[in-house]
């Protein structure tokens, strides 16, 4: 397939700027692949599609308050430092993006407050830098959490507000490391999760830390030539056991989001089961990928020509998914990160 196959007209007025309240009141478009039927439900109705013995796979990644604003030493020039990932815990070394990049050179120090500053130690890309935070800063994740701003996606054309710190975080979030939320999971509430578990559905946790690559444009028409950014993932033994038991029992494995899906499909045994694993994945899923683990997919409506849309189309079938997107636009679904959801059966 080609990049241009995934173009569609995205009305700006349908890009959700704020989440539904309560979270599980969002619309849920249900796509049944067997008969190619489309139904409109509320997200809270998703429990009706689950049975005892099924598994729900969730991503425990936590969105960092990644946008830091500081001042360059001596000149006091205002600099934004967007933290991407920790490179060396012992040395407090991080991969970041700076803006304006032309003002930030190797050796510069940027001060955020009396307790936190960083020094640029290398250039990585035109805007990318490697920095070392001050050795007495303590836990950098905690320091960032206190002073950072929520990194809303660039297509949400507004400034982050204090409420986003909670709204742009899933109820499953436990492990710091993402700069974007696994958005399909934003629709779950503690009450809905409790009902799902009470029904006998098992929860299996994985981690995939989502990087800025999730928003990066695909620049090649031939999709086989596209290279994904590497992202860290972890599949614990317990989760692999839960999922594999369901597969053996012919129960359904509901996977929340493209990030969890990529983690699972990265680590598959030759017999078609999940292998517990940790590492980095650059797996790119697009039609006509043969899914090994994911049996049902819960996802949001994604941007045109995005790798997220390509994965969704691979799972649901290209023609069927693009038909569903046309219907979503016609019926004025709320789209993208804070928007409505899709369940593909």
Alpha helices in 168-234 (DSSP H): 190-198
Give the per-residue pLDDT at 8. 97
The 3-state DSSP class for residue 103 equals helix
The 3-state DSSP class for residue 250 equals coil
Give the per-residue pLDDT at 126. 87
Interval 39-54: pLDDT, tens: 999 999 999 999 999 9
The 3-state DSSP class for residue 79 equals strand
Closest to 179 (Cα-Cα) out of 131, 229, 217, 136: 229
Q: By the 8 A CB rule, do 185 and 257 touch?
A: yes
Domains of the chain from N-terminus onward: 3-63+165-344 (3.40.1780.10), 67-147 (2.40.10.240)
Interval 222-264: pLDDT, tens: 999 999 999 999 999 999 999 999 999 999 999 999 999 999 9
Query: In which residue ranges of the chain is pLDDT below 70?
Result: none
How far apart are alpha carbons 92 and 89 in whole angstroms? 5
Give the per-residue pLDDT at 215. 87
What are residue 68's DSSP bridge partners?
Answer: 81
Q: By the 8 A CB rule, do 115 and 146 touch?
A: no
Placement of tokens 């899709």 in the chain:
342
Give the per-residue pLDDT at 97. 96
Q: Answer whether the bond into residue 250 is a cis peptide, omega within 30°.
A: no
DSSP state of 156: S
How far apart are alpha carbons 30 and 43 in whole angstroms? 10
């Amino acid at each position: 397939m080609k990049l241009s196959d995934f173009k569609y007209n995205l009305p700006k007025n349908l890009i959700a700027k704020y989440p539904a309240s309560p979270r599980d009141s969002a619309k849920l478009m249900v796509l049944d692949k067997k008969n190619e039927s489309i139904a409109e439900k509320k997200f809270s109705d998703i429990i009706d599609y689950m049975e005892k013995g099924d598994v729900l796979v969730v991503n425990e990644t936590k969105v960092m308050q990644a946008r830091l604003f500081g001042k360059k030493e001596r000149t006091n020039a205002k600099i934004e430092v967007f933290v991407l990932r920790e490179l060396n815990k012992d040395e407090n070394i991080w991969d970041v993006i700076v803006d304006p990049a032309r003002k930030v050179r190797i050796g510069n120090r940027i001060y955020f407050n009396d307790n936190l500053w960083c020094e640029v130690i290398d250039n990585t890309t035109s805007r990318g830098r490697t920095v070392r935070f001050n050795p007495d800063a303590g836990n950098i994740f905690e320091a960032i959490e206190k002073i950072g701003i929520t990194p809303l996606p660039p297509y949400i054309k507004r400034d982050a507000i204090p409420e986003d710190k909670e709204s742009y975080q899933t109820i499953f979030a436990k492990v710091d490391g993402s700069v974007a939320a696994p958005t399909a999971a934003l629709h779950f509430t503690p009450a809905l999760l409790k009902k799902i578990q009470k029904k006998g559905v098992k929860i299996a946790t994985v981690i995939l830390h989502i990087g800025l690559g999730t928003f990066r444009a695909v620049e090649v028409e031939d999709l086989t030539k596209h290279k994904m950014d590497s992202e860290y993932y972890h599949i614990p033994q317990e989760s692999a056991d839960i999922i594999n038991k369901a597969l053996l029992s012919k129960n359904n494995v509901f996977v929340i989001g493209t990030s969890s899906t990529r983690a699972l499909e990265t680590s598959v045994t030759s017999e078609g089961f999940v292998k517990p694993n940790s590492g980095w994945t650059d797996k790119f899923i697009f039609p006509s990928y043969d899914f090994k683990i994911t049996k049902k997919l819960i996802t949001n409506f994604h941007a045109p020509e995005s790798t997220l849309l390509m994965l969704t189309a691979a799972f649901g079938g290209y023609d069927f998914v693009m038909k569903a997107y046309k219907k979503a636009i016609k019926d004025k679904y709320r789209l993208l990160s804070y928007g409505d959801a899709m369940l593909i059966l």
